[in-house]
Amino acid sequence: MKIGILSQDANLYSTRRLHEACQQRGHEAVIINALRCYMNINSVQPSIHFKGTDLIGFDAIIPRIGSDITFYGCAVLRQFEMMDVFAVNQSIAISRSRDKLRSLQLLSREGVGMPVTGFASKPDDVLDLIKMVGGAPLVIKLLEGTQGIGVVLAETQKAAESVIEAFLGLKAHIMVQEYIEEAGGADIRCFVIGGKVIASMKRQAAEGEFRSNLHRGGSASLIRITPEERKTAIAAAKAMGLSVAGVDLLRSKRGPLIMEVNSSPGLEGIEAATGKDIAGMIIDYIEKNAGKSRRNLQNQ
């Protein structure tokens, strides 16, 4: 098969591993920078061009679209979909997961556990917004933030009021969430492929930090998840429509709570913590499903 990897950087660990996994299985792998692509949109023969060459003959596309190019990256991916190329994750599913507010509303509709969340544009009563999520301490998140950037823990009522008012004063879009103290600065990343959790790891925040992101100095270790956590992770990926996803959840007194569903989960931390060939499993999934029609995949 000819497999395209939509990635801006061929040297990234995840991109390299996917490229290697393709080659190890005898497939042709092509790394494509979505920002360098340009499209011919028509009703007869839509196409994508890259450096003057028509990108044709692809059997599958693995989207590794950075959060900063979601709009254009999804447009390029959508063009591949129009050309009947199998996408590991479809553009609409990626768009859902990247919109933090929309993703939480979808999880809420499906009854998936998550922290109590407040959202407002210009609240007349900031105190009521704080009260709505259980009061301080609470977490304030920028909707556009990634990898723990734009996430603030407000430990007191006054601190929460000040941070919320400051963000709103800058016309930033924010969410206010209850703080799950019993999680102890740790979360669980469940890696889902094709409706199954194939690997999971615990991410522990560094000392003095509440964000467990590995990019912020957190550590990763192997963990055994419960049947309820497994079920919750699968339900979260399904709610987004993602075939490959990194589902982040917290252990709370009322069960597993979803923090985020990532459509381009990194492979380095999960492969190191579990010793599993995650990249290879993604290629295995492509081999089993690339020949199926889009309608059959949507009915799974």
Annotated binding-site residue? 262:
yes
Q: Which amino acid is at 10?
A: A
| 11 in a known ligand binding site | no
110 is in an annotated binding site: no
Is residue 213 within 8 Å of residue 229, measured between CB atoms? Answer: no
Query: 213 among the known binding-site residues?
Result: yes
Helix (H) / strand (E) element for 99: namely none
124/44 Cα distance (integer angstroms): 52
Q: How far apart are CA 114 and CA 234, in angstroms?
A: 14
Residue 59 assigned as binding residue: no
229 marked among binding-site residues: no
141 annotated as ligand-binding? yes
Helices (runs of H) and strands (runs of E) counted in the chain: 10, 16
- Residue 248 labeled ligand binder: yes
Has 178 been labeled as part of a binding site? yes
**Both tokens of residue 21?**
């996994």
- With H, G, I as helix, E, B as strand and everything else as coil, classify residue 84: coil
DSSP H helices in the chain: 13-24, 70-82, 91-98, 100-109, 126-132, 157-169, 227-240, 268-274, 278-289, 294-298
Q: Would the annotation count 125 as a binding residue?
A: no
SS3 256: strand
Identify the sign of the CA torsion 164, 114, 265, 210.
positive
- Which residues lie below 8 Å from residue 42, measured CB to CB, with a gap of 6+? none
User: Are 212 and 249 within 8 A, CB to CB?
Assistant: no
Report the 10 Å Cβ neighbour count for 195: 12
- Beta strands 186-193 and 196-204 are antiparallel
Annotated binding residues for Mn(2+), written as ranges, equal 248, 260, 262
Annotated binding residues for ATP, written as ranges, equal 141, 178-179, 187, 211-213
Annotated binding residues for Mg(2+), written as ranges, equal 248, 260, 262
Annotated binding residues, written as ranges, equal 141, 178-179, 187, 211-213, 248, 260, 262
